[in-house]
Amino acid sequence: MKVVLRILRGESREALAEELKVPAERIEAWESTFLDAGRKALSSRKQRWFRPSKTGGRIAQWSVLLLVLLAVVYFLTRFMQSTGE
């Protein structure tokens, strides 16, 4: 995940690949996986459970979003460990 965050901050994929001694394609795959997971989490906002209720369900809404983000971080950590990062 740290590598993808560095890319999002503007660092070059090629420079990171050289620094980490991994193929640039692997870094691109990590970035793609990260962005896909983010898109999926954001698209889930359309589901009913994510809409705020009339009774002030904002806390529940943010709690669900936090759980989704934690799941994404966990998945990416496991993915990076399995690929040798």
Is this prediction's pTM over 0.85? no
- Total domains in the fold of the chain: 1
User: Domain of 40?
Assistant: 2-82
Residue at 81: amino acid letter: Q
Of these ranges, 5-9, 19-23, 40-44, 73-77, the one predicted with the greatest mean pLDDT is 19-23
- pLDDT tens, position by position, 24-35: 999 999 988 988
Beta strands (DSSP E) in 1-85 are none
Tally Cβ neighbours within 10 Å of residue 1.
Answer: 15
The span from the CA of 83 to the CA of 32, in Å, is: 15
The span from the CA of 44 to the CA of 55, in Å, is: 21
Question: Phi, psi at residue 52, to the nearest 5°?
Answer: -65, 140
